[in-house]
Structure 1
Amino acid sequence: MTTPQEELLPGTRRALLHRIAVAQTEGRAPSLVAAVVRGGRTVWHGARSSVEGHGPDENVQYRIGSLTKTFTAVLVLRLRDEGLLDLGDPLEKHLPGTGVGEATIAELLAHTGGLAAETPGPWWERTPGSLRPELADVLGERAAPHPAGRRFHYSNPGYTVLGALVERLRGEPWDEVLRREVLEPLELRRTSAHPQAPAAGGWAVHPWADVMLPEPAEDFGRMAPAGQLWSTTGDLARFAVFLARGDDRVLSVETLREMGTPAAPAGPAELADGASYGLGLQIQHRDGRLLVGHSGSVPGFLATLLVGVEDDVAAVVLANCTSGLMTSQVAADLVRIVAESEPRIPEPWRPLSEAADSILELAGQWHWGTSPIALRVTADGLLSLGPVSGGGRRSRFRPNGDGTWTGLDGYYAGEILRVVRRADGSVEHLDLASFVFTRRPYEESAAVPGGVDPAGWRGIG
């Protein structure tokens, strides 16, 4: 239930209903179900169906296809956070004998490991997993058509390998680890490896006639970590809250932000679409906003979950048709409708509870060469560095407790900001990634790299 303050306005709710109604009609989907999350709570649910008088609710399962990959990535990041592996480790270190062992775990998560897009043999999504009982059957003889680390190449077998890695390090089947470590803590009771009633049937809709054909619902076997799961809009809405805010029982918000940071080089197609890929999360730029999440497609089903990072709005869209409906666009539109109709109200500004003089004296205007730079002390205890006006490099810094600061984002992410003081304790300059920031442009008394002409500033004479 939502409180009155959290309810969407009637006009917003109608716009959401109109969007999914158009999608279901024009996409010719047997059914479509959607949910919107705002401020950490589900605030809207809608459904359209070709069966008169019947609309699936938030507890009806649909198959979510490759959205499963995000769940698998969460398991791998848990192993990393526990110290059982490093993302830079080659696969061979933990899962020897695959034939693709030179790819690192990070590369497999980001689809840059060079592995093939699909498995050899018949279409794996429409045939029993028993046809591919071993990893060797999934990978085939030409498992890696590209050099590891050189390009983004979406790979379903890559996530099968990651699932096998989870099984090796946990000593249990992938789906059991997922249930215990993710589904149960997050209370995703209607997410499972196999359908549990009520569950929608998957359909293929003829492209040139308004008739349908049932799609087989195969057990993917070894390929399960790439696309096996079934879920509901209710569960996926809760999963969206987790992706946005974290849950220390599963993954911290810092690790989730890492998952949503681009980790794969974008090719021409991705650049044109404003898309990239993180560590198990797709990243999009649509309508001027950043969206992270994942889509899924298997015969009979389409799915998308997207989180609007700055707007604190997420959307889930599920449909039971093989093609003809762009659930990613619909989900992005649902986020946009709420974000534009009811813009997020920012938290009230509050000052710092306390601020040491040694930090306050850093605030104000600095110069990198001749470029004026503003350094601000923000209410969250961070430093914010950026141009006084116009575009340029901007970063935030967190204190390290020893007088240094570490960049959190932007150009200086991971770089160390040092405060250099004179013998009397006053600040002489800031040192950042070999750059010297001075109070005046090329200040003579500071250690400016290359020195300062002793004749000083002058005109043309």
Structure 2
Amino acid sequence: MTAMLPTTELALLRRIATEQATRRVPSLVAAVVRDGEIAWSGARGRVDGQTPGDDTQYRLGSITKSIVAAVVMRLRDEGKLDLNDPLDKHVAGTSFGASTIGQLLSHTAGLTAESPGLWWERTVGDDWKALETSLATDSLKHRPGARFHYSNVGYGVLGEVIARHRGTGWFDAVRDEILTPLGMTRTTPEPAAPFAPGLAVHPFADVVLPEPSHDAGAMAPAGQLWSTINDLARWTTFVGGHTGGVLRPETVAEMRDMVTVDDGDVWTSGYGLGMQLVRTQGRALAGHTGSMPGFLACSLIDPATQTGALVMANSTAGVALVQLAIDLINLTEEHEPRFPAEWVPSIVDSSALALTGLWHWGPTAYHLRMLPDGNFSLAPAEGSGRASRFRPVSDDVWLGLDGYYAGETLTVGRDASGVARSLDLATFIFSRTPYAPDAPIPGGVDPDGWRA
């Protein structure tokens, strides 16, 4: 653990102490991560008469979904499925087989929020066949792809997709492919001592009631797992990009990309591929929240700064964990702001260097710059407009990474002597001068050129 300043640690501890006291939480544990490791952790309240520690288990609830999603993305990267595949291709015969894998991951499949029958979070779960039978009618509440509709059922279905491909239970795949490689040895489907008991706090008196905890069966991939500060910190840094070889960083970044919003046109919260997304105070955070009877949890990280926070509590309701996690991140950044990395010159390929500088899309000037990570940026020289970063794919071929041109191909056009004369970006031609006659401008250039 990297030490923080005593003033920072005091501010962080005071924040969680205030939350635990004012919200009447039996126990609460929290941590801040920076650059792939725990920078601070703290706890308030009691578990079995003791202050809980970094190895005390709490139930994760829906943070389980993100971990399940990581296995699905591994299947995608292995070529075993495509996010656009209909469910029928992998689990045939359901009443919602036209919904795609990507829609299930992003809660846009239109599936009902909860499994039919008894409240699944408080009762012993059935197997897949029983869940599938219960969904035979009235399982679709919205047209697939039409809108965000959070569905615990969708992740029960994804657990079955994993089981069909791996030939084993969903948790076995999660353990072998995610938890063990990341060193998350204290993340389990059932509690293992030391663990906090699930409790509900009476709304009008300072008394508590034990909550039940059962194996959710086929619904378990929606919220079964238990974990610790040590393990959840490792997962939080994974979401930030420290993937430990479990997934490519590009795949985790794809999971963090916004697929849908759940709060209107100007969004502050949304959902990616198994990831909840939060925009606040200039930060773009990714992670997930979780709740099960007796427990609340939250894990969020800012990939841009690599600062994140995680909180777990054994209370059914009443704790503002998202805001608490955001406050822990903000306190850390305020008390210990990062210094920008020292600028140093870098070695660049001379042919790539020759491409930088001024280009024109019609009469509009653009700047092409090389970035420190070896990528390129193409952006208007003045004002706002279509700007994107590009990754080299092969000689003179780049792939758009973000913005309007995300996923589009940029190709450098050269003359017979090898000099770059144009950039072809999804049929838009950029030339060194406005409408340069020696560039392949669509429609040609008036032979008389510019005139008064």
Which bracket does the TM-score occupy, shorter chain normalised? over 0.9
Distance verdict in 2 for CA 1:414–1:157, change over 3 Å:
same
Between 1:447-456 and 1:392-401, the stretch displaced more is 447-456
Which of 194, 213, 217 is the equivalent residue of 1:217?
213
Alignment of 1:256 with 2:249, yes or no, is no
Query: 2:359, 2:169 → 1: CA distance?
Result: 56
Equivalent runs, 1:71-110 vs 2, <5 Å? 71-110=67-106
Q: TM-score, normalised by structure 1?
A: 0.93
In the TM superposition, residue 219 of structure 1 has moved relative to its aligned partner by: 1.6
Q: What is the aligned-residue identity percentage?
A: 51
Query: Aligned ranges for residues 193-232 of structure 1 at < 5 Å?
Result: 193-232=189-228
Q: Residues 120 and 140 of structure 1 are in contact (CA less than 8 Å); yes or no, is this contact kept in structure 2?
A: no
Counterpart in the other structure of 1:55: 51
1:442 to 435, 438, 443: 435
SS of equivalent to 1:396: strand
Aligned AA (1:422): D
User: Given residue 175 of structure 2, which amino acid in structure 1 is its aligned partner?
Assistant: R
Tell me if the contact between 1:270 and 1:276 (Cα under 8 Å) persists in the aligned partners. Answer: no
User: Could you tell me how far apart the structure 2 residues matched to 1:131 and 1:365 are?
Assistant: 62
Partner of 1:427: 420
* Residues matched between the structures, number: 452
* CA deviation profile, 1:378-433 (whole Å, cap 9, x unmatched): 23222111122332222111222232111122221111111122233322221111
Deviation at 1:292, TM superposition (A): 0.4
Contact 1:312 1:344 in 2 (8 A): no
Indicate if the aligned counterparts of 1:436 and 1:448 stay in contact, CA closer than 8 A.
yes
Q: 1:97 to 1:359 in 2, by over 3 A?
A: same
Residue 365 of structure 2 is aligned to residue 372 of structure 1: yes
Mapped partners of 2:251, 2:171: distance in 1 = 22
1:318 Cα deviation from its structure 2 partner: 0.3
Whole-angstrom CA distance in 2 between matches of 1:367 and 1:40: 41
The CA distance in 2 between the partners of 1:360 and 1:338, in whole Å, is 39
Are the counterparts in 1 of residues 33 and 39 from structure 2 also a CA contact under 8 Å? yes
Aligned partner of residue 449 in structure 1, secondary structure:
coil
**2:154 match:** 158
Distance in 2 of aligned mates of 1:182 and 1:115: 27
Which residue type is aligned with residue 116 of structure 1? T
Residues of 1 paired with 2:278 and 2:266: CA distance? 11
Q: Which has the larger displacement, 150-159 or 372-381?
A: 372-381
Q: Distance in 2 between matches of 1:119 and 1:53?
A: 37
Change (3 A) 1:138 1:258: farther
Q: Describe how 1:32-431 pairs up with structure 2 within 5 A.
A: 32-49=28-45, 54-130=50-126, 134-137=130-133, 139-247=135-243, 249-264=245-260, 266-267=261-262, 269-271=263-265, 274-356=268-350, 358-431=351-424
The DSSP-based 3-state class of the residue aligned with 1:185 is helix
- Higher mean Cα deviation, 92-101 or 417-426? 417-426
Q: Which residue is equivalent to 1:21? A: 17
Of the structure 1 ranges 251-260 and 343-352, higher mean CA displacement relative to structure 2 is found in 343-352
- Bigger Cα displacement from structure 2, 407-416 vs 274-283: 407-416
How far 1:136 moved relative to its partner? 2.0
Aligned-pair Cα RMSD in Å: 2.0
After TM superposition, give the deviation of residue 215 of structure 1 in Å: 1.1
SS at 2:181 equivalent: coil
Compute the TM-score of the two structures, normalised by the length of structure 2. 0.95
Aligned-residue offset at 1:270 = 5.0
How much has 1:450 moved relative to structure 2?
3.6
2-structure distance, mates of 1:443, 1:22:
65
Q: What residue number does 2:8 align with?
A: 12
Structure 1 residues 160, 291: closer, same or farther in 2, change over 3 A? same
Q: Distance in 2 between matches of 1:54 and 1:370?
A: 70
For the 8 Å contact 1:98–1:135, the answer to whether it is kept is no
Asked if structure 2 preserves the Cα contact closer than 8 Å seen for 1:116 and 1:157, the reply is yes
Given that 1:90 and 1:103 are in contact with CA atoms closer than 8 Å, whether structure 2 keeps it comes out as yes
CA–CA distance in structure 1, aligned partners of residues 30 and 134 of structure 2: 33
Give the match's secondary structure for 1:400.
strand
| Local SS of the residue matching 1:350 | coil
The answer to whether the 8 A contact 2:95-2:136 is kept is no
| Equivalent position SS for 2:369 | strand
Check the 8 A contact 2:54/2:228 in 1, yes or no: yes
Q: Distance in 2 between matches of 1:256 and 1:15?
A: 32
> Post-superposition shift, 1:190?
1.0
Conserved? CA contact 2:46–2:52, under 8 Å: no
Mark the CA change 1:310 to 1:150 in structure 2 (over 3 Å): closer, same or farther.
Answer: same
What residue identity is the alignment partner of 1:279? L
> What are the ranges of 5 or more consecutive residues in structure 1 without an aligned counterpart?
none
In the TM superposition, what is the alpha-carbon distance from 1:231 to its structure 2 partner?
A: 0.6
**CA contact under 8 A between 1:204 and 1:322: conserved in structure 2?**
yes
CA distance in 1, matches of 2:359, 2:69: 42
* Segment of structure 1 superposing worse, 218-227 or 134-143: 134-143
Contact 1:135/1:161 (<8 A) preserved:
no
- The answer to which of 235-244 and 342-351 deviates more is 342-351
Shift of 1:458: 4.7
Letter in 1 for 2:433: R
SS at match of 2:209: strand
Alignment partner of 1:431: what SS?
A: strand
> Match for 1:386: what amino acid?
A
Which amino acid in structure 1 is aligned with residue 442 of structure 2?
A: P
Letter in 2 for 1:274: T
Extract unaligned runs of 5+ from structure 2: none
Give the Å deviation of 1:54. Answer: 3.1
Counterpart secondary structure, 2:196: coil
